[in-house]
């Protein structure tokens, strides 16, 4: 069953030195858009891993990811040797230009410089645990999107049923309406040209019937509805395919309405239901 693109996922893991909290909010999107917020000194090195993890769970959507780390014990994320080197460099520069800075200010500048360290200096265990917590949040979000998807599918199925019911009315009544139209045009031609032109009246009525014939549109619309129902059972991302089917179904319904205006109550109702389906499809992955 298709998944919704909207939902919320949450996970929190407690370790000896810290607690990791991950929150994910997802909305509908034509493609994949990922925004990550959290400790900058860590995200610089694991941002790509975070994005790849999310992509392994989902195919479409706009994702806002919030990562929070609460340390229960002091944790130094900066490389000690890099920090020492940065402090020394800052002090030497200040002496050359004749400035005097407090230790706090020197540390602030040095910390910024020393943050340009190698990925290997990051706590690899912390990185692994962040991704582990992220996966749990993704599982939570996926379950939420599944539940929302079930609601969407139920609503779409009910509206497809209404479209099918109206289409059945059209199938049953179309021949009768065509015959009445043929009779009217036949009588009109005879009235204008006389009984001797009855053959001409028959030809005109036949041509009119051909123009009014909506058999092909009915067959194509039935085919689209059948395909739509198949997609409703799919476990893959089918939102784009459903959106395309909505466009094709609208074209067939519109053509039927133009060819046989007598069916406007049915075609208007079908287009109304189809528009609501299209709106729901925008939220399907």
**Which of 32-41, 138-147, 186-195 shows the highest mean pLDDT?**
138-147
23-32, 96-105, 145-154, 275-284: which has the minimum mean pLDDT? 96-105
Structure-token match 């289409």, residue found: 167
**Which of 77-86, 93-102, 112-121, 166-175 shows the highest mean pLDDT?**
166-175
Across the chain, mean pLDDT equals: 85
pLDDT category of residue 59 using cuts at 50, 70 and 90: very high
48-52, 111-115, 186-190, 280-284: which has the minimum mean pLDDT? 111-115
CB atoms within 10 A of CB 8: 14
- Choosing among 3.30.980, 3.30.230, 1.10.357, 1.10.3470, the CATH entry for 7-76+123-147 is 3.30.230
Kindly list the distances between the CA atom of residue 93 and the CA atoms of 103, 114, 115, in Å, as whole numbers in the listed order. 14, 16, 19
pLDDT category of residue 11 using cuts at 50, 70 and 90: very high
Q: Which residues of 148-170 are buried (b: 16+ CB within 10 A; e: fewer)?
A: bbeebbeebeebbebbeebbeeb
Q: How far apart are CA 22 and CA 18, in angstroms?
A: 13
Q: What is the pLDDT of residue 15?
A: 87
Domain ranges of the chain: 7-76+123-147, 80-114
């Amino acid at each position: 069953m298709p998944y919704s693109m909207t939902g919320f996922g949450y996970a929190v893991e407690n370790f000896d030195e810290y607690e990791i909290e991950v929150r994910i909010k997802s909305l509908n999107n034509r493609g994949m858009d990922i925004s990550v917020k959290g400790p900058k000194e860590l995200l610089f090195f694991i941002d790509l891993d975070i994005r790849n993890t999310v992509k392994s769970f989902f195919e479409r959507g706009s994702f806002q990811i919030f990562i929070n780390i609460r340390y229960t014990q002091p944790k130094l994320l900066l490389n000690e040797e890099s920090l020492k080197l940065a402090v020394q460099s800052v002090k030497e520069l200040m002496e050359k230009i004749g400035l005097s800075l407090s230790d706090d200010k020197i540390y602030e500048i040095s910390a910024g410089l020393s943050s340009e360290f190698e990925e290997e200096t990051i706590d690899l265990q912390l990185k692994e645990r962040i991704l582990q917590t992220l996966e749990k949040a993704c599982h939570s979000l996926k379950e939420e999107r599944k539940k929302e998807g079930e609601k969407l599918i139920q609503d779409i199925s009910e509206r497809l049923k209404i479209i099918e019911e109206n289409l059945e009315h059209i199938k049953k009544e179309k021949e009768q309406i065509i015959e009445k139209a043929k009779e009217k045009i036949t009588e009109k031609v005879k009235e204008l040209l006389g009984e001797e032109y009855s053959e001409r009246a028959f030809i005109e009525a036949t041509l009119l019937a051909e123009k009014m014939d909506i058999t092909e549109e009915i067959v194509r619309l039935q085919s689209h509805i059948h395909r739509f129902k198949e997609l409703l059972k799919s476990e893959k991302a089918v939102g784009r395919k459903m959106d395309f089917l909505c466009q094709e179904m609208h074209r067939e319904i519109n053509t039927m309405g133009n060819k046989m205006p007598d069916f406007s109550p049915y075609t208007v109702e079908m287009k109304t239901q189809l528009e609501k389906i299209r709106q729901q499809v925008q939220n399907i992955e």
